[in-house]
Amino acid sequence: MRICIVAEGSYPYITGGVSSWIHNIIAQMPEHEFIIYSIGAQSKQAGKFKYQLPVNVVEVKETFLDSYLDEEGKWGSRFRLSSLQKQNLQALLGSGEDVNWNNLFKLLRSSNFQNAADFLSSKDFFDILEEICSKKYKLIPFTEMFWTVRSMILPLFLTIRNDIPEADVYHSVSTGYAGVVGALAKHLYNKPLILTEHGIYSREREEEIIKADWVKGYFKDMWIEYFYKLSSCAYQESDQIITLFNRNKEIQVELGCDINKIKVIPNGVHSAEYVNIETVNKNDTVIRIGAIVRVVPIKDIKTMLQSFALIKREIPQAEFCIMGPYEEDEQYYEECLQLVETLSLEDVTFTGSIQVKEYLGRMDLLMLTSISEGQPLAILEGMASSKPFVSTNVGSCKELLEGIEDGIGPAGLIAPVMHYEKLALAAIQLCKDQQLRMEMGRNAFLRVQKYYRQKDVIESYRALYQSLGGGQQWRESASS
């Protein structure tokens, strides 16, 4: 079977999290061929893979959202859109109606115009936008509205006009642009679409936009609504939707997803691989706190550092090790380094990309301070290493650490998002109580070994691919 995995902002350019999940799925299903349709943020990422691709990856199709910067259109054309086409475009731009995505795909992939910028420079687009402004945005200068909307939807239109490789099954690993590409592939080839949503994409984009300086206040609602529209596309067109835990399922239903499409398949790890990792020397008086994390804003490294400043006052022998890449957002990384200097923090290390297993055993406890998560592999890896966690109450973190009436006991402590004082107090409690750390570490290993096994994840997806994709269909058709 040939499976096309559609990934946005992750594999194979970024390590950890969703990328690790994709890599494991592919590597552990050698009986299938995989195509990676990768949607990156910036063209400079082209070909710069962070992973050695498994041998069963037969193609990588790269597309980049910043390519719209190079696209120029011919101004002032008219394409004689039907009233239904105009209504559909207005729905995409926030008229309040649902988007008919198949009709939108047909329009944007038609030969009526040479490129997406031609349409967005046309009189038709001008008229559509003018009508929306007259109804909903009367007080916003039209020129600002025009260029904002154009920059918002041009990457989507370019993505829709891109070629998509043919496969037996399409598997989008988020909504957003990846979900739209999956829906387009289903439209073009009449093949099944699977959606796996690790975190709630639209909610994550909403949080980013609310905090963003580059979006003016009166455009924030428009951007947020736009990303919810993109997510609805994947929810509507997917044949099967996989979520990682029950709370995510509830949110998806709240956002309009059909509950009958949703199945819960949690993440997993090979716990046996962590049994013999190097452990802490019991006679060592240093308390080592670690974080398996990418240095990006959504992981809220700044709160982590502020928390450690308080921990350091109470536990002067504490050291902090941030284990993960920092190249993804260089500006944010520099801001974190500046915060370390401002706080006069000592014993803080940013390792960059590493083999996490070589470090985990040396840690006494681990922290995660994200403002949004799904079901983080970082916590599962730490649990498999028998390490207690201090985590913010996001995604399934509380469920992972406390369980759901499983009789195992807590594997860590939970604190509110961005509350560095409560995070610090929880960490200090663990720093001071070796017996509690050991007990929670044992609970962590028992829970991950029982409920979060990688072999169960692989078997679940293997069965899902088989049920939707029809066995060796690709190879049979290719040989005939």
Q: At what angle do helices 101-108 and 83-92 cross, to 10 degrees?
A: 110
Q: Which long-range contacts (CB under 8 A, 24 or more apart) does 131-136 make?
A: 131/90, 132/90, 132/93, 132/94, 132/95, 135/95, 136/94, 136/95
What pLDDT, on the 0 to 100 scale, is given for residue 80?
A: 82
Flag whether pLDDT at 318 surpasses 90.
Answer: yes
Sequence-distant (≥ 6) Cβ neighbours of residue 478 within 8 angstroms: none
Reading the block at residue 112, the tokens are 């009526």
Sequence-distant (≥ 6) Cβ neighbours of residue 330 within 8 angstroms: none
Domains and CATH numbers, the chain: 2-70+163-267+456-475 (3.40.50.2000), 83-153 (no CATH), 271-452 (3.40.50.2000)
What band does 96 get if pLDDT is binned at 50, 70 and 90? confident
DSSP structure class, residue 99: P
- The pLDDT tens digits of the residues spanning 139-149 come to 888 888 888 88
Flag whether pLDDT at 100 surpasses 70.
Answer: yes
| Enclosing H/E stretch for 241 | strand 240-243
What pLDDT, on the 0 to 100 scale, is given for residue 117?
A: 83
Q: At what angle do helices 301-314 and 330-342 cross, to 10 degrees?
A: 20
d(CA 124, CA 127): 5
Flag whether pLDDT at 476 surpasses 50.
Answer: no
- The pLDDT tens digits of the residues spanning 419-457 come to 999 999 999 999 999 999 999 999 999 999 999 999 999
- The pLDDT tens digits of the residues spanning 398-416 come to 999 999 989 999 999 999 9
Q: Which residues pair with 206 in a beta bridge?
A: none
What band does 471 get if pLDDT is binned at 50, 70 and 90? low
Higher confidence at residue 447 or residue 216?
447
- The pLDDT tens digits of the residues spanning 254-289 come to 999 999 999 999 999 998 888 878 776 667 789 999
- The pLDDT tens digits of the residues spanning 358-388 come to 899 999 999 999 998 989 999 999 999 999 9
